[in-house]
């Protein structure tokens, strides 16, 4: 955020329902609807509403925010949110970066190092309800993605395995969408925080250069 702000971007950081740092009910708000103890609204619901509410408030409150040149970046669950917003609200953005993201919850439960926790979050496994998992997977709505996307992922990410990025990238390529994919060898889910200095610098430069291009005053919307 400091890097983007120093480059002249207005940076908004949200903590939607489902995030940490607030009361227990806030964090549990997006538990699955079929959770036996703490049923919530599920992923891709009130969390999305909160992110868009932050954006709408900023655009209304601050004249220096340009609603025609908005980008989004998210990692891990934030990457899930970024991809979900790309497929459901892509017209609001000029470019979206999704990194170390969960995109297909069915295939992610096959191989993630926290796969056994999925039932505790969603109230079921994909074996018990494949359709429910697909309904909350951003990759299921890839045909609706028209906003330019930047995908970043580490090859040794066991939390959100790199197949999550590969599936989304291949799908968007087959759909002939505007998508760029960078993969980082030897890095894991913590690339942005504790990755090698060279890769952290490369990541930062890639993000800054990409958004500088996509959010430039003369950049096209990419929607169409």
Looking up tokens 């669950």 gives: 77
Catalytic annotation on 146?
no
Catalytic annotation on 45?
no
In this structure, which topology does domain 67-214 adopt according to CATH? Rossmann fold (3.40.50)
**Mean pLDDT, to the nearest integer, of 138-161?**
98
What tens digit of pLDDT does each residue of 204-217 get?
999 999 999 999 98
Per-residue pLDDT band for 218 (boundaries 50, 70, 90) equals confident
Percent of the chain scoring above 70 in pLDDT:
97
What tens digit of pLDDT does each residue of 70-128 get?
999 999 999 999 999 999 999 999 999 999 999 999 999 999 999 999 999 999 999 99
Looking up tokens 């919850």 gives: 105
CA dist., res. 99 & res. 162, Å (int): 10
**Mean pLDDT, to the nearest integer, of 183-189?**
98
What are the start-end ranges of the H helices in 105-196?
105-111, 118-122, 130-135, 163-174, 191-194
Q: Where do the domains of the chain lie?
A: 67-214
Question: What is the reported pLDDT for 111?
Answer: 94
Higher pLDDT, 221 or 162: 162
Judge whether residue 153 has pLDDT over 70: yes
Question: Of residues 14, 76, 137, 154, which has the active-site annotation?
Answer: 76
CA dist., res. 130 & res. 175, Å (int): 24
Judge whether residue 224 has pLDDT over 60: no
pTM of the model: 0.94
Judge whether residue 223 has pLDDT over 50: no
Question: Of residues 35, 122, 153, 189, which has the active-site annotation?
Answer: 189
């Amino acid at each position: 955020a400091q890097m983007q702000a120093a480059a002249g971007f207005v940076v908004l950081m949200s903590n939607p329902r489902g995030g940490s740092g607030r009361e227990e009910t806030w964090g549990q708000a997006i538990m699955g609807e079929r959770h036996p103890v703490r049923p919530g609204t599920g992923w891709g619901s009130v969390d999305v509403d909160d992110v868009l509410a932050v954006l709408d408030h900023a655009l209304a409150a601050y004249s220096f925010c340009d609603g025609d040149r908005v980008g989004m970046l998210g990692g891990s669950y934030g990457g899930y949110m970024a991809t979900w917003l790309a497929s459901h609200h892509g017209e609001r953005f000029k470019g979206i970066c999704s990194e170390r993201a969960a995109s297909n919850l069915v295939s992610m439960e096959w191989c993630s190092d926290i796969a056994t926790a999925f039932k505790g979050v969603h109230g079921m496994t994909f074996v018990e309800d494949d359709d429910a998992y697909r309904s909350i997977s951003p990759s299921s709505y890839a045909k609706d993605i028209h906003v330019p996307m930047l995908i970043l992922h580490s090859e040794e990410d066991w939390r959100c395995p790199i197949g999550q990025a590969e599936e989304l990238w291949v799908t968007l390529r087959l759909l002939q969408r505007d998508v760029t994919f960078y993969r980082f060898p030897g890095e894991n889910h913590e690339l942005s925080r504790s990755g090698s200095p060279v890769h952290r610098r490369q990541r930062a430069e890639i993000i800054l250069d990409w958004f500088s291009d996509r959010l430039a005053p003369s950049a096209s919307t990419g929607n169409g």
